Structure 1
Amino acid sequence: MLVHTETVQSGLFARLVEIGRDSGRAESGTPVDPVTLYDRHGVLVVRVGDVAVKAHQADREHGVPFLERVRLARGLPEILVGPLGPPVDVDGRVVTVSPYGEPVDPGQDPPWEDGARLLAALHSMPLPEDAPSWGRPARVARRVSELGHGPAADVVRQAFATLPAWMRGEGVEPPGTFECLIHGDWHLGQMVRVRDGWRLIDIEDLGRGDPAWDLARPAALYSAGVLHPDDWVRFLGAYTEAGGPAVPSGGDPWTALDVPARSLAIQIGATCVISAERENRSLDGPEQAMIDACARISTAGDAA
């Protein structure tokens, strides 16, 4: 018996709305009709009044480490919007309920400084001994493994081959890396505005790790020419002024950012190629810029 994806998503949407309305906060402010906030990559987020109800990716780890991430987030309300309570199971899917916040408006000036200061504050928090590891570098190799065939895919693979062996899944990360509490997947889409300012959202990767990875995406986009240099200066300047420990104070930030930035450029490039292939279209301008960045990485070779 075939079950159409649309039918499954419709049923899941209804369950998320029900959970939101039962949360006790759904109509604490101005009533709002339920609306889908996000529906991509196996994630469904629905706004129900003053809460956002999220069905997390089915293939992510949601055991004890995820419960610890929830606990960490709820203990840092000045930095993170965490779930209001423990996750619940909906037909095998992990679902959380969090306060709703207004996302970044792409038509307005991006809050680069606010994001940088939030990351600096998070990175400066005491690191709990039992904080789970974020474990995200493995995703670069996994995404590259999903590539098909063609010139752009070959460029990405060639760039991937220049990464350190531990980034390619062929060894372990060298010891001695500075670790702190990190978000693990930061970009402007991971910020919302609540009543008293901006906060970080999405805690699936929250945990122990190298803080340079929280700066890796904007660093990669800047290196590729996708992020304007002025925006990069705003972001990095605000981070260092706030005492962020990911880059050396007064030194060359790329000594810390090189491998994370190259890795994210390759991961983003692979995602661009995969998306274009699935949608049977050519790469657009920013996507081609990421492939060009991968070509430069290949030419430069292994700088690690």
Structure 2
Amino acid sequence: MQTRSGAQILVHDDVVEKLHRPGTDVRALTARLAAAAQSASLLAPLTAVPEPVGDRWRTRWPRVETVAPQPCSLPWAEAGRLLAQLHRESIPRRLPPHGWPQRLRRMLRATADVTVRRAAAGLPEAVWRAGSTGRPSTLVHGDWHIGQLGRHHARWVLIDVDDTGVGDPVWDLARPAGFWAAGQIPDADWTTFLDAYRGAAGPAVPDGDPWPVLEAFARAAVICAAAHHPDDELLRDACARMR
């Protein structure tokens, strides 16, 4: 399977081989594998050292049960608690910044859509950095959405550490927040997710109204998704409404 990011996935029975996207920094990837091997929240790789394949790098992972594309219900509460747990873990040494700002830049370089680029021009400076002054700095998944949940040995874990790193944990809430604001996640699901995250002492948002903290990052996540999915009219319309 070819992923949208440029990685390739091959499944052999209970082993998943991932050929990472071209240009992957092997030192950063190695640090991320080490972090996953130590984490209680991330799926641990089968081997902690990437294997060279031509000019690319391959890693091996246990096969897990992922969230069904169109289930009757989604595990939003479990997701909120798991992210809060990740954000409270100790930060491993030599872990790079998480990859959200870089992904946003890649997506914008790949789109010529005037509406999307105009919305991006209105983003504040904070979204172009992995961390922000005066904000918490934690372990961050870096590409979180509900499809990044996997079930391994009867427990939920987070999969895909290609963008895992250090920074502001608000980034891991950005995509669900943005999709909720764009009308693509029901109110009840968003509330369940946020309440579970807060109930598990997640540090990304304060008590009270979370939107002053979330708003800029939610906009960035919607803009990135619109650049990545040019045929999605709902995402493009959301970009058009941004001021």
TM norm structure 1: 0.74
> Hey, what's the Cα distance between the residues in 1 that align with 2:105 and 2:37?
32
- The structure 2 residue matched to 1:187, chosen from 141, 145, 155, is 145
In structure 2, relative to structure 1, the CA distance for the partners of 1:178 and 1:97 (3 Å cut) is same
Q: What's the counterpart of residue 71 of structure 1?
A: 34
* Matched-pair contact (CA < 8 Å) for 2:99–2:164: no
Shift of 1:41: 3.4
In structure 2, relative to structure 1, the CA distance for the partners of 1:74 and 1:269 (3 Å cut) is same
Q: How does 1:121-140 map to 2 (within 5 A)?
A: 121-140=85-104
Shift of 1:146: 2.2
Gaps spanning 5+ residues in structure 2: where?
Answer: none
Q: What's the counterpart of residue 225 of structure 1?
A: 183
1:166-222, CA deviations, whole angstroms, 9 ceiling, x for partnerless residues? 6469xx975333210110100122111112211111111111110000011111100
In structure 2, relative to structure 1, the CA distance for the partners of 1:92 and 1:138 (3 Å cut) is closer
158-167 vs 111-120, greater mean Cα deviation: 158-167
* Matched-pair contact (CA < 8 Å) for 2:37–2:43: yes
Alpha-carbon RMSD across the aligned residues, in angstroms, is 1.9
1:239-267, CA deviations, whole angstroms, 9 ceiling, x for partnerless residues? 1111111000x221112211110111111
Kindly provide the amino acid, as one letter, of the partner of residue 119 in structure 1: L
Query: Does residue 234 of the first structure (1) align with residue 192 of the second (2)?
Result: yes
Query: Secondary structure of 1:215's match?
Result: helix
Q: What's the counterpart of residue 263 of structure 1?
A: 220
Q: How does 1:23-102 map to 2 (within 5 A)?
A: 36=1, 39-62=3-26, 64-76=27-39, 78-85=40-47, 86-102=49-65
> Hey, what's the Cα distance between the residues in 1 that align with 2:172 and 2:125?
21
> Hey, what's the Cα distance between the residues in 1 that align with 2:215 and 2:58?
36
> Hey, what's the Cα distance between the residues in 1 that align with 2:138 and 2:63?
27
Kindly provide the amino acid, as one letter, of the partner of residue 51 in structure 1: V
111-120 vs 212-221, greater mean Cα deviation: 111-120
* Matched-pair contact (CA < 8 Å) for 2:131–2:137: no
Shift of 1:238: 0.8
Kindly provide the amino acid, as one letter, of the partner of residue 271 in structure 1: H
Q: Identical aligned pairs, as a percentage? A: 39
May I ask how many residue pairs the two structures share in their alignment? Answer: 241
> Hey, what's the Cα distance between the residues in 1 that align with 2:82 and 2:179?
20
Query: Secondary structure of 2:123's match?
Result: coil
* Matched-pair contact (CA < 8 Å) for 2:51–2:58: yes
232-241 vs 174-183, greater mean Cα deviation: 174-183
* Matched-pair contact (CA < 8 Å) for 1:265–1:290: yes
* Matched-pair contact (CA < 8 Å) for 1:42–1:57: yes
Instruction: Give the structure with higher Rg (CA).
Output: 1
In structure 2, relative to structure 1, the CA distance for the partners of 1:107 and 1:160 (3 Å cut) is closer
* Matched-pair contact (CA < 8 Å) for 1:82–1:203: no
1:73-115, CA deviations, whole angstroms, 9 ceiling, x for partnerless residues? 0011x31112111110112221111111011112322111111
> Hey, what's the Cα distance between the residues in 1 that align with 2:43 and 2:3?
20
In structure 2, relative to structure 1, the CA distance for the partners of 1:116 and 1:173 (3 Å cut) is closer
* Matched-pair contact (CA < 8 Å) for 2:142–2:171: yes
> Hey, what's the Cα distance between the residues in 1 that align with 2:138 and 2:226?
28
In structure 2, relative to structure 1, the CA distance for the partners of 1:258 and 1:126 (3 Å cut) is same
> Hey, what's the Cα distance between the residues in 1 that align with 2:59 and 2:3?
15
- The structure 2 residue matched to 1:209, chosen from 154, 167, 181, is 167
Shift of 1:129: 4.7
1:104-129, CA deviations, whole angstroms, 9 ceiling, x for partnerless residues? 11232211111111110000112235
Query: Secondary structure of 1:233's match?
Result: helix
* Matched-pair contact (CA < 8 Å) for 1:103–1:193: yes
Query: Secondary structure of 2:229's match?
Result: helix
Q: What's the counterpart of residue 247 of structure 1?
A: 205
- The structure 1 residue matched to 2:119, chosen from 138, 159, 165, is 159
Kindly provide the amino acid, as one letter, of the partner of residue 141 in structure 1: R
